[in-house]
Amino acid sequence: MADPKKPRAPFAPWDRRELPGTFTVEDTAKRVGHYKWVEMRLFEALGGWVATVPELDVKMRLGTHCYKHAWHSELWHKRLPELREMNPDRLTRPPNEAMEEFFKVLTEPEDQGQTIEKLVGVYRVLIPRKIAAYTYHLNNTSTITDAPTIRSLKLALNDEFDDWRDGEMLIQALIETDEEVERAAAHQTRLEKIMLRAGGVAGPGSLGSVPETMTEEVPV
């Protein structure tokens, strides 16, 4: 057995974590507040839609996914005070008006015949954007100072990938005609355009670089 008194490196040779990270505590709190707002709007919408979809498999999946996003919102809610935001409600807000508009349009479909639109909005537009923003955050934050956020991001991403796959497969199973392909594409295009204006789920800079056309974050 090794000599217990022998000094060892505090970081094992295989532990490559580093201090530098893209985000300050304040930046992180702002992003986390946006995440919480988005996760809340999403779980509310999924919960509301359960009663409006006649397809039993979709109904049960939405009920399951509803909780996962509620849990993500709770993770972010609990992270905010740890990021010096003692009033979590203050930062629980959308990054801009475009994101509010996005959710307004996302939750427009209500009719029983609009399951495709409901799923497309969530699984072809919103969840891919969440995966993108969470992944960018995960890959750019300090692996040492921001370990709690990283853990939450990994837990959330694990769910997002599973749910995206579920949702995409349901969409593929539901779309049976050219007309339905067009309906799905039209709704996706409409939402993508709004999301483009929003700049992603955390606003401009969701993926780091801010397009020249949106250098200023528009406060709500």
Partner 1 sequence: MKKNMPPDELARDGRFVRVNMVERISDPRNGRGPTGGRVGARLTPDRPGAPDAARALMHGIFVGEIQALEGAGRTCWDFEVGAGSDDVPFQLKLDMARQCWDEARHCEISVKLSEWMGTEIGEFAESTFLFEAACNPDPVLRLTGVNRALEGLAIDVFNTMKEFGNVVGDPVLEFCEDWMLADEVTHVKMGSDWLRRLTVDDPERRKRALEFQRIVDKLFSGGGFRGDDEDSPVHLARRFREMAGFTVDEIDEISDLARQARAEARARTAGATAGAAAEAG
Residue numbers 63-122 binding partner 1 by CB under 8 A: 63-64, 66-71, 73-74, 77, 107-110, 112
CA distances to 67, 126, 218 from 64, in Å: 6, 17, 34
Q: Shortest CA distance to 118 belongs to which of 167, 57, 156, 68?
A: 167
Instruction: Fill in the amino acid letter for 175.
Output: I
CA distances to 18, 75, 77, 102 from 33, in Å: 25, 11, 8, 17
Contact status: 23 vs partner 1 (CB under 8 A): no
User: For residues 92 and 74, what is the distance between their CA atoms, to the nearest angstrom?
Assistant: 11
Contact status: 30 vs partner 1 (CB under 8 A): no
| Listed ranges 20-28, 45-53, 182-190, 208-216: which one lies at the site for partner 1 (CB under 8 A) | 45-53
Kindly state the tokens that stand for 74. 């709770």
**Residue among 6, 56, 86, 212 that touches partner 1 (CB under 8 A):** 56
| Listed ranges 4-12, 56-64, 186-194, 201-209: which one lies at the site for partner 1 (CB under 8 A) | 56-64
Nearer to partner 1, 28 or 107 (CB): 107
Closest distance of CB 170 from partner 1, Å: 14
Contact status: 187 vs partner 1 (CB under 8 A): no
Which position has the token pair 């007309």? Answer: 179
Nearer to partner 1, 59 or 197 (CB): 59
Q: Shortest CA distance to 75 belongs to which of 17, 157, 20?
A: 157
- In the complex, the residues that contact partner 1 under the rule CB under 8 A are 40, 43-56, 59-64, 66-71, 73-74, 77, 107-110, 112
